[in-house]
Chains A and B, each alone.
Chain A
Amino acid sequence: MTGLLRVLLVVGMACGVLLPCGGAVAADAKRLNIVFVSPGKSGEVYWDMVAQAMQAAGRKLDAHVEVLTSERNYRTMQELGLGVLARVDKPDFLILSNEESAAVTVLEAAEAAGVKTLLLSNTLIGDDAARLGPPRRTLKTWLGDITTDLQTAGARMANALIDAARAGKWQSPDGKIHILGIGGDEITPASIARNAGLKLAVQAAPDVVVDRMLFANWTQSEAEQLTANYLSWASRKGIRPAGIWAGNDPMALGAINAAATAGLAPGQDIQVVGLNWSEDALRAIGANRLLLTDGGHFLLGGWSIVLLRDYADGCDFAAASPHVEVKTSEITRTNLASVGDLIRTRAFDRIDFAGFRAKAGRCGHYDFSIDALISSLAPLEGAAD
């Protein structure tokens, strides 16, 4: 009930606040009707931020974005998606995330209903991918997907750790740099990609050993416990732990807590890296406890609207590829000041999404880098004034 109210509230707000603005921006184009079925929970930072970025982009690009939250229940997600497709007044686009492969049913229903779909963050995998093939072949209305390159993100995080350890000469008596890896899980593509990044980076560094790859179910508390276990074990083994690679920020923060509890000074004796650009992570970076947080993939919400706007306006992103992979970016103490506030305040309206649209004749080519982002940012309201 509260979820539904929240959806209505968000939709209402979006309509009320953004309509005049959007109309002014793109008076020549058709106003788009977009529905996003979020797999996450209300209040879940990442998906909230995805939705918010999506809506902010909608406001900039004359698209009405309706967000439906499935509350981490994939059955609900399917029901919501099918419900949208059954509407008399069908939306122009339906954005889904194929978590737990739950989106396939809805994709097929959308094909039948003639509603165009875009997969966000999680695309088809395994049997589904083999059966349905690439976008727009079996499912004509499935336009494509937009995902982040989390493997690169994982590797980047690892390299940052390794560099910091080498710089601090945190080798153990065996001469190796010992790292703990904490993954979210062992099955989701998002987790597997990150972990693969870690593995790649370590394989390239012969002086580095990942003592353990532990899995903390994405949660801070479990990560804290596992880290504590690891640190205890490492001390018994005579290992000097150099860094902790965490698949997301909450786990990184848990690892920091555990390290502190174990008598280490995170940021000084040991480095921790996370992913997600979460507010707590940014604070930890500010406090010099967290080396970096990679991420920015919540912006996929905004970038998806950019793609659809261009597609609707005849500049099909598939001209390059129906698979749009967006690189993530790291926030360190260096660039914390630039984007930290954006994240903290979630003032995504500061982003000029229109500026990211494909240039004429270069359909499918986008620069979604952090530098581009930073340069697109409108000055803070206070500063502007």
Chain B
Amino acid sequence: MRSDNDMTDPVCNAQAAPPRSRSVVRAMIWATVPVLLVVQLLASAGVEVSSFWSQIRQLDERTARTAESRAELIAEPLWKMRYDQVTSVLNEILHDETIAAVAVYDDTGVAIARVVARPSDQAVSEVSRPIEYRNGNIAVEAGRIVIAYSYATIYAHTGSRLLLLLVVGLLATLATVVAMRISANIFIGKPLAAIMSAIQRSKQDGRAYPAEVRSSNEFGQLAHAFNAMQHTTSGALDRLGHMASHDPLTGLPNRRSLSERLVTLSRDAGSPDSLIAFCFIDLDDFKGINDTFGHDAGDKFLVHISERLREAVEPEDWVARLGGDEFVVIRPEVSNAATAQAFARQLLDAISEPIRLHDKQVVPRASIGLAVRRAGDPELSHLPALADIALYHAKSKAPGTVAVLDEALQRDYRRRRDLELAISAGFAEGQFEVWYQSQVDLESHRVVGLEALIRWRHPEHGVISPGEFLPLIERSGNNARLTRYVLTDACRALQRLAAAGKPQIRIAINLPPSELADHSFAAELHATCARLGVAASSLELEITEGSLINNIACASETLHRLRRLGATIALDDFGTGYSSLAHLRRFPLDKVKIDKAFISEIPDSGEDKAIVGVIASLAGTLGLTLVAEGIERAEQARAVREMGVRLGQGFLYQQPQPLEAVLKWLEAAPSSSVLADSPSIAPEFAA
């Protein structure tokens, strides 16, 4: 089951596990405190070391002075060999705690007095001074005094000072850290946290939350600016969000909303067994509205439709416009399929109310594909596709109705999908075959032409009728390929006919509307004919009225080019489509093929006879050759011939057959009346 959170996963993840970053406060502390500590310690240590050396120097000097002064004191006792006095003088020196030992050497170098204060295993220095004795008569060097003294006191003092400095330094640093933390928290951390918190909350639900910062410093200004930006951004985001999920024209939720809606459908349902009705609505011939009244009117039309849908549904229902003329209505809870169907019809009814466009009454028509599924259905997210299957069915089979998705439709859908996928293989493996049906001169009963009809011999599904696979070919964009395939085959057939001594027999191929719109088709036809050595005048191109209507200018251009090449143009299925007599005049037509719907009841139906008669009269006036399609009985042929129809086509003469069979058939009855002697194996393509 998906949820909103899942939808916003990347964002959520970014929130939940942001890259592990150190706070600015910490970074500041880490950047400054070690430097502070090191500088402080180094400075203290430097001062202390300098003091240490100064003390060492002072001690050296003091000891030297002591040695000199004692040397003076000792000179006389030493000279006068009062060694006990010398010793007592030395003993006095020992009051100085830095002095470890003192020795006095006489002029022979022998220590005559030595006092040791304390045994010292530490480094000791020595200072030595001569002892000079003078009296009125003599001045001699009586000996030397040597003082051994220790720096231990200075070391200990310096050590304890350094320790003290270290402790003081650490305490100072600690105090600094605490002060920095506190102040940084107050001045930086809190405002940042407030702003961050506002950002996090905004990210969670997209709404604007102000950062609660009261101070007037830079952070206060930042927060103020942030709040202002939040306000601006959130409005824009709201609008963007709405625009992203809504159709700007009708204000209805759009396709993206549908995706989100589908996600929440099952969650919002009361129970897994609740039935959800999904109506896929497609307006019929909305293009005609656009073409007829212009796009502004088309938009207005769509707005009307959306309003009607809104009015027709209950509050719990959900209406969306997917784009173009497609709408979706979801009823989250229906009691059964029949209720859903009734609801869909209700929608159709609502849509079908007439609308005024440019002071003209237009009656909208729509088809609905309805799919009903349980809320617990795991394929709930496929509802649009399923409904689309039903809609396809409705559109193709019964426009303006509701088609309910059932097993058969799904089967059809799967078959259609299979065939669509097999089209490429069909071309590659030569599964498409071109059969031919003859057109006969109703007077002379001679074969004047053949109509090329496409067949698909599918390895699994057998021979598939054009009515089934042509829409698939068109939808899959293979129309041009098929047309060229047929054209090439037809040209080869013309070669065969010429070879068989019947060069007068021409071949007609059906030209789909898309090819009519393609300017290059005429050139291609010319090239193909030239390549295969066939005269373009041996070809006839059959078009339908629909293809003329859809793109009048292009169609006219293409038709003129084809005519210039020598090909003739036949208007197929005349009388069934948007038949407009104006077309007969506007386009360069050579033939008109009367739809078999008008032929089948002849001669019994007087109405049909009247219609055919009118058509024949019109054709005669316009100089068009008439072809009656679907002639199955001789009296039909006779009746239409009497009404002025010159050519006929139908089972009475020949069913569509592969070329070989047609050639044999032509061989057998070269110039007489031909009657159908083989059963129909497939519905006629050109019906």
List residues of chain A with CB under 8 Å of any chain B CB.
212-215, 225-226, 229-230, 233, 236-237
Contacts and interface: CB of A to CB of B under 8 A. Distances in A.
B79 A233 contact: no
A225 B110 contact: no
A174 to B, nearest CB: 15
B80 A212 contact: yes
Contacts of A229: 81, 83, 112
A225 B87 CA distance: 14
Contact of A212 (B81, B108, B112): B81
A212 B80 CA distance: 7
Interface string B371-394: 000000000000000000000000
A50 to B, nearest CB: 30
Given A215-B80, A225-B84, A226-B80, 16 more contacts: A212-B79, A212-B80, A212-B81, A213-B80, A214-B80, A214-B81, A225-B83, A226-B81, A229-B83, A233-B81, A233-B106, A233-B108, A236-B108, A236-B110, A237-B107, A237-B108
24 contacts: A212-B79, A212-B80, A212-B81, A213-B80, A214-B80, A214-B81, A215-B80, A225-B83, A225-B84, A226-B80, A226-B81, A226-B82, A229-B81, A229-B83, A229-B112, A230-B81, A233-B81, A233-B106, A233-B108, A236-B106, A236-B108, A236-B110, A237-B107, A237-B108
A233 B80 CA distance: 11
Contacts of B110: 236
A230 B112 CA distance: 11
A213 B80 CA distance: 7
Nearest to B109: A236
By secondary structure, the B interface counts as loop
A212 B83 CA distance: 14
Closest 9 CB pairs of A and B: A229-B81, A236-B108, A226-B81, A214-B80, A237-B108, A214-B81, A229-B83, A230-B81, A236-B110
A229 B83 CA distance: 8
Contacts of A215: 80
A230 B80 CA distance: 9
Interface in B116-144: none
Contacts of B107: 237
Contacts of B79: 212
Nearest to B110: A236
A215 B79 CA distance: 11
A310 to B, nearest CB: 42
A308 B83 CA distance: 48
Contacts of B83: 225, 229
A194 to B, nearest CB: 17
B75 to A, nearest CB: 13
Nearest to B112: A229
A212 B79 CA distance: 8
Contacts of B84: 225
B138 to A, nearest CB: 10
Contacts of B82: 226
Interface string B64-103: 0000000000000001111110000000000000000000
Contacts of B112: 229
A70 B110 CA distance: 45
Contacts of B80: 212-215, 226
A129 B163 CA distance: 72
A35 to B, nearest CB: 40
A149 B81 CA distance: 29
B532 to A, nearest CB: 146
A183 to B, nearest CB: 10
A237 B112 CA distance: 14
A221 to B, nearest CB: 11
Which of B84, B108, B112 gathers most chain A CB within 10 Å?
Answer: B108
A213 B81 CA distance: 10
Interface in B28-87: 79-84
Contacts of A236: 106, 108, 110
Contacts of A230: 81
A95 to B, nearest CB: 35
B560 to A, nearest CB: 150
A236 B81 CA distance: 14
Contacts of A233: 81, 106, 108
A209 to B, nearest CB: 12
A134 to B, nearest CB: 29
A214 B112 CA distance: 16
Interface in B603-631: none
A225 B82 CA distance: 8
B50 to A, nearest CB: 47
B108 to A, nearest CB: 4
A200 to B, nearest CB: 14
B214 to A, nearest CB: 95
A213 B76 CA distance: 11
Contacts of B81: 212, 214, 226, 229-230, 233
Contacts of A225: 83-84
A213 B108 CA distance: 18
Nearest to A236: B108
B109 to A, nearest CB: 8
Contacts of B108: 233, 236-237
Interface in B475-525: none
A212 B77 CA distance: 12
A233 to B, nearest CB: 6
A31 B221 CA distance: 132
B145 to A, nearest CB: 17
Nearest to A228: B81
Which of A213, A214, A229 gathers most chain B CB within 10 Å?
Answer: A229
A215 B108 CA distance: 21
Which of B80, B107, B110 gathers most chain A CB within 10 Å?
Answer: B80
Nearest to A222: B82
Contacts of A237: 107-108
A237 B108 CA distance: 6
Nearest to A226: B81
A266 B571 CA distance: 175
A212 B107 CA distance: 13
A231 B82 CA distance: 13
A236 B83 CA distance: 16
A214 B84 CA distance: 14
B444 to A, nearest CB: 172
Nearest to A230: B81
A257 to B, nearest CB: 16
A151 to B, nearest CB: 18
A233 B143 CA distance: 12
Which of B81, B108, B112 gathers most chain A CB within 10 Å?
Answer: B81
B149 to A, nearest CB: 27
A229 B143 CA distance: 14
A350 B83 CA distance: 47
A215 B84 CA distance: 14
A327 B649 CA distance: 197
A215 B82 CA distance: 9
A214 B83 CA distance: 12
A231 to B, nearest CB: 10
A225 B80 CA distance: 11
A68 B671 CA distance: 205
A178 to B, nearest CB: 14
Nearest to A213: B80
Contacts of A213: 80
A241 B81 CA distance: 16
B390 to A, nearest CB: 137
Contacts of A212: 79-81
A244 to B, nearest CB: 13
A233 B84 CA distance: 15
Interface string B161-195: 00000000000000000000000000000000000
Interface in B337-366: none
Interface string B296-336: 00000000000000000000000000000000000000000
A225 to B, nearest CB: 7
